[in-house]
Structure 1
């Protein structure tokens, strides 16, 4: 008897059919990968299994008994624990890491009314030790990187003694070493008969740990692949078409210099480096987590200070003191965690697709201070058509869109106005193969600006960039990889 059995689950949102008879099963001691393009129904299916949403039809059984949790807490008590891709609900600024690790217990009232700081730290340390993670217990949760916030979420989930652990893109913000450590933990849990449903767009992750891969398309399971998994076949089943060549349009860029950095130091102790970006050029920076990729982009965008050096934009001195100054100068940036940096909260006004695109341009589009929705809607309609954004309408909430369509909307935001330099930090995080292809096409179609991309995945860098730099210890390495003259991603070293 399978641990979890899902039969003929359906779910609609208005006229949009998200699930159309989805069914699958998971055995104890099995790691099952769930693959699917953004919008295929993965998130909706997971939300139903984890108690966030109710199904319109179909049945679910857990351990042979009917299972229809009404809340995530109810699902967790039954043994089904989910770690979502976004970590916004894991903790908040002002809480320590120890507080965040025990937050669910505080909310459920399962801790004593009086609890000393020493006791909180001891319980939190035990949770981290059990997960195999090392985090500073007294650090403010708001100061953690995306990777460390993910580790808190996973450690908290593992402490729930789950029978089924659902992981949604758990390695999206983890370094290679952290990912391997997580894989070791998951394999240990599998040996202890825990069932794991693992959602990821990274085939390397799935190849490392998955026993089976289920492929979703159009709201139902359309393929099942046993180990050794044929990922080419699985991806083609997922997107409904044959894979195209990764780099059909590699090119040498000869445009004039747009942006220059000379003698740059990101930290007082780091080695100085130079960088020049040309019009129409896409340059990717790759390196391990903490090497300095995000700090470099943040410094260019006026979020952080440089420790030394000078910058020029279109041959003029450039040293923004804030993002608003950077935007006014013609520099745009999509930061690493779109949920925290680019999207308005779901409960706030202005969370629509159209408003998401217009947000940084409001002062320019509406100088009188009166907002008229006509331009917002036109820009959103053009973005939907140009980038293939799947949305019910331009006024739909950004939060009902899949991760790939959210990211397309963030890219569209910076296409709505001319810019000279576009900065993209991990633009493919949580984005499926099909959506990634659309985003790459949009990035490489920009010939009026230079684009600088930070990515921890060399394969992604190869797919999008004309040149690749490696970064280490907050300094760019001197030799560039010219992709236009390269023949394989294996030639890239970081």
Structure 2
């Protein structure tokens, strides 16, 4: 008997069909990857399994019994636990790792009212021992990296005897080394008979872990692939059209030098390096997390400073003291965490697509504070058509869009006004294959500006760039064109 059986699930939100007959079977001790473009129905299916939402129709059985949880807590009691991409809510920042491991126990009253640090540490140590993890119990949860936060979430799931673990984009914020550690953890869970539903846009994750891959498109199953997974066929099923795997043709000529870094140091102890980026050129910098990629882009956008060296923008000295000065000089940036850095909070006046695009241009578009909405709406409508943004209208909330469409809106913000240098930090994080192709096409279509991209994924770097540079210990160690498989293998 399979552990989980999902048959013909439907779920609509008004006139929008999120699921239109989705089905899925997961055996005991099986790792099943769930693939699909943004908006394919993956998140809705996970929310139904987690008890966050209910299905309109269809059947779900767990261990042969009807399974329709009405909350995440009830789903967990039945043995289904979800670990989300963002681990910010796994623990409270000021609490210790031991406290974070026992949060579920505190909430449902399984721990005695009278507790001591010794009893808390003992119970937390038992949870870690059962999971086979080694984490510092007394460290503050806020000090943990993304990988260790994932382990805390998984350990808590195992402590409540999870039979099915749902992992939603678990490697999105992890380095290659940290992702490797997570792979080992997931495979160890499989060996213990725990089933895993694994949602990821990264084919490397799926190739390393999945026994099967199930593809959703338009809320229904469009393909199922067993190991070894044919990713060309799976991706074509995801996006509904052939996917060209050819990397961009390196441009034979570019324009004048836009960005010129001479003997710069990101840190006083780091090796100096030079960098030139020309108009019409796309340069990607790859390397592990913490190598200095984001630090470089932040310094260029006025969010930090170089320790040493000279920086020129179109031949003139360039040292912005803040983002406003960078924008005034023609430099634009989309930071790594779009939710915190590029989008207004939910239910704020500026949370629409139109307002998101116009935000950094308000002084030029509305001199004297005259807030006519015409230009906002026109620019947003143009972006929706040009980038293929799936939205109802320019007035739609940015938070109603999928991750890939949100990123398209952020990119459209910097296409709305001419810029000379575009800085993109992890632009494909949480973006599906189809949306990624649209974003790459939009990036490369602009031949008037220079583009500098930071990404931890070498495959993404080679896919988008004319040149790929490798950053290590806050210095550019080596350069390559986008035909260098050895470099890809070294840093994959």
TM-score scaled by length of structure 1? 0.91
1:463: how far off? 0.7
> Match for residue 26 of structure 2?
26
1:105: how far off? 4.5
For 2:19 and 2:459, locate their aligned partners in 1 and report how far apart those are by CA, in whole Å: 32
Q: Would the alpha carbon gap of residues 108 and 229 (structure 1) be closer, same or farther in structure 2, given more than 3 Å must change? A: same
Q: Secondary structure at the match of 2:180?
A: helix
> Match for residue 237 of structure 2?
237
| Mapping 1:464-475, distance limit 5 Å | 464-475=464-475
- Give per-residue Cα distances to partners, 1:289-325, cap 9 Å, x unaligned: 2211112212222223322222121222222222233
> Match for residue 247 of structure 1?
247
1:242: how far off? 1.5
Q: Secondary structure at the match of 1:368?
A: helix
Q: Would the alpha carbon gap of residues 355 and 270 (structure 1) be closer, same or farther in structure 2, given more than 3 Å must change? A: same
Q: Secondary structure at the match of 1:17?
A: strand
For 2:320 and 2:137, locate their aligned partners in 1 and report how far apart those are by CA, in whole Å: 33
For 1:364 and 1:149, locate their aligned partners in 2 and report how far apart those are by CA, in whole Å: 43
> Match for residue 5 of structure 1?
5
1:90: how far off? 3.2
For 1:323 and 1:148, locate their aligned partners in 2 and report how far apart those are by CA, in whole Å: 32
> Match for residue 133 of structure 2?
132
1:229: how far off? 1.5
| Mapping 1:119-158, distance limit 5 Å | 130=131, 132=133, 134=135, 137-139=138-140, 141=142, 146-147=146-147, 149-158=149-158
1:358: how far off? 2.2
For 1:427 and 1:131, locate their aligned partners in 2 and report how far apart those are by CA, in whole Å: 35
> Match for residue 169 of structure 2?
169
> Match for residue 462 of structure 2?
462
1:353: how far off? 2.3
Check the 8 A contact 1:125/1:137 in 2, yes or no: no
| Mapping 1:328-477, distance limit 5 Å | 328-477=328-477
Q: Secondary structure at the match of 1:52?
A: coil
1:284: how far off? 0.5
1:93: how far off? 5.5
Q: Secondary structure at the match of 1:417?
A: coil
- Give per-residue Cα distances to partners, 1:429-478, cap 9 Å, x unaligned: 1212111110100111122211111111111111100111111111111x
- Give per-residue Cα distances to partners, 1:40-72, cap 9 Å, x unaligned: 111111111111222222121212222122222
For 2:408 and 2:132, locate their aligned partners in 1 and report how far apart those are by CA, in whole Å: 34
For 1:92 and 1:419, locate their aligned partners in 2 and report how far apart those are by CA, in whole Å: 41
Q: Secondary structure at the match of 2:167?
A: strand
Check the 8 A contact 2:268/2:307 in 1, yes or no: yes
Check the 8 A contact 1:86/1:339 in 2, yes or no: no
> Match for residue 482 of structure 1?
481
Residue 191 (str. 1) matches residue 191 (str. 2): yes
For 1:23 and 1:295, locate their aligned partners in 2 and report how far apart those are by CA, in whole Å: 45
Between 1:180-189 and 1:62-71, the stretch displaced more is: 62-71
Q: Would the alpha carbon gap of residues 474 and 112 (structure 1) be closer, same or farther in structure 2, given more than 3 Å must change? A: farther
For 1:91 and 1:449, locate their aligned partners in 2 and report how far apart those are by CA, in whole Å: 43
For 2:135 and 2:65, locate their aligned partners in 1 and report how far apart those are by CA, in whole Å: 38
Q: Secondary structure at the match of 1:87?
A: coil
Between 1:361-370 and 1:407-416, the stretch displaced more is: 361-370
Q: Secondary structure at the match of 1:197?
A: strand
For 1:438 and 1:75, locate their aligned partners in 2 and report how far apart those are by CA, in whole Å: 37
1:128: how far off? 5.6
1:267: how far off? 1.7
Between 1:194-203 and 1:327-336, the stretch displaced more is: 327-336
Check the 8 A contact 1:216/1:223 in 2, yes or no: yes
1:172: how far off? 1.4
Q: Secondary structure at the match of 2:20?
A: strand
Between 1:74-83 and 1:304-313, the stretch displaced more is: 304-313
1:164: how far off? 0.7
For 2:309 and 2:125, locate their aligned partners in 1 and report how far apart those are by CA, in whole Å: 42
1:371: how far off? 3.3
Q: Secondary structure at the match of 1:480?
A: strand
For 2:7 and 2:388, locate their aligned partners in 1 and report how far apart those are by CA, in whole Å: 31
Query: Where in structure 2 are there 5+ consecutive unaligned residues?
Result: none
For 1:281 and 1:99, locate their aligned partners in 2 and report how far apart those are by CA, in whole Å: 50
> Match for residue 208 of structure 1?
208
Check the 8 A contact 2:133/2:151 in 1, yes or no: no
> Match for residue 287 of structure 1?
287
What's the C-alpha RMSD, in Å, of the aligned pairs? 2.5
Q: Would the alpha carbon gap of residues 213 and 103 (structure 1) be closer, same or farther in structure 2, given more than 3 Å must change? A: same
Q: Would the alpha carbon gap of residues 205 and 266 (structure 1) be closer, same or farther in structure 2, given more than 3 Å must change? A: same
Q: Would the alpha carbon gap of residues 180 and 299 (structure 1) be closer, same or farther in structure 2, given more than 3 Å must change? A: same
1:482: how far off? 2.7
Check the 8 A contact 1:150/1:173 in 2, yes or no: no
1:214: how far off? 0.3
> Match for residue 40 of structure 2?
40
1:94: how far off? 5.1
Residue 265 (str. 1) matches residue 262 (str. 2): no
For 1:83 and 1:63, locate their aligned partners in 2 and report how far apart those are by CA, in whole Å: 21
Check the 8 A contact 1:36/1:217 in 2, yes or no: yes
- Give per-residue Cα distances to partners, 1:122-153, cap 9 Å, x unaligned: 65566566363646853462x66555554544
Alignment: residue pair count: 489
